[in-house]
Chains A and B, each alone.
Chain A
Amino acid sequence: GAVVSQHPSRVICKSGTSVKIECRSLDFQATTMFWYRQFPKQSLMLMATSNEGSKATYEQGVEKDKFLINHASLTLSTLTVTSAHPEDSSFYICSAIPGGGYGYTFGSGTRLTVV
């Protein structure tokens, strides 16, 4: 139990295009999900907190117009990287809290490469 599914696992896109990443809680409902970014040999950095039915909360320095978050249901949050540029290339990971002692459960991550 307590699985968070993230798709796609890898995506390559051209500079200037948009990319959508999906995060689903498979066997529990998640009113809150979290989006992280991880650069090589660096910590996971929280980008935003996604709340079902309301606006996401973005961390300082994260452009909300560039990283669009939609949490339209209790099992799905999406992150859209708009007008992507090479500096947006990174590993993006979502997380949710299933409860029941599972801690924060993470998706398998999405490797975004912007060329």
Chain B
Amino acid sequence: EDQVTQSPEALRLQEGESSSLNCSYTVSGLRGLFWYRQDPGKGPEFLFTLYSAGEEKEKERLKATLTKKESFLHITAPKPEDSATYLCAVQEAGAGSYQLTFGKGTKLSVIP
């Protein structure tokens, strides 16, 4: 069973059409949940870290929220330059544990 599941796999939006990406996770204890943006042929670019249920963070058109079972990445009035794959990763609580477990990502395409 996957620990991190992202949906949908792919999403096409018209420019200006707001939507949300989902990341559900199953870990015994969460140390942190991370959102990254990845452009083709590039490494992931850090967006947000969330630590506890109820936490929210914003950056430009992006807003990340966290519950005990899932996280959402809300995209408000997206632009074509927001097109990318968005990755979610979790860090499980545990002494000395640095490992991140990634989902497969959501490929977002924003059409002008």
A residues in contact (CB < 8 Å) with B: 4, 6, 32, 34, 41-46, 49, 91, 93, 95, 97, 101-109, 111
- Checking B34, B43, B46, B102 against A109 with a beta-carbon cut-off of 8 angstroms, the contacting residue is B43
- Which of A41, A46, A106 meets B43, CB within 8 Å? A106
From DSSP, what is the main secondary structure of chain B's interface residues? strand
Residue numbers of B with Cβ under 8 A of A are: 4, 34, 36, 41-46, 48-49, 87, 89, 98-105
Q: Are B104 and A103 in contact (CB under 8 A)?
A: no
Residues A34 and B98 in contact in the complex (CB < 8 Å), given A41-B104, A42-B104, A103-B34: yes
Determine chain A's interface SS by DSSP, over half rule: strand
Smallest Cβ-Cβ distance to B87: which chain A residue: A44
Chain A residues within an 8 Å CB radius of B104: 41-43
> Which single residue of chain B is at the shortest CB-CB distance from A41?
B104
CA distance A93 to B100 in the complex (A): 13
- Contacting residues, chain B, for A43 (C-beta < 8 A): 4, 87, 101-105
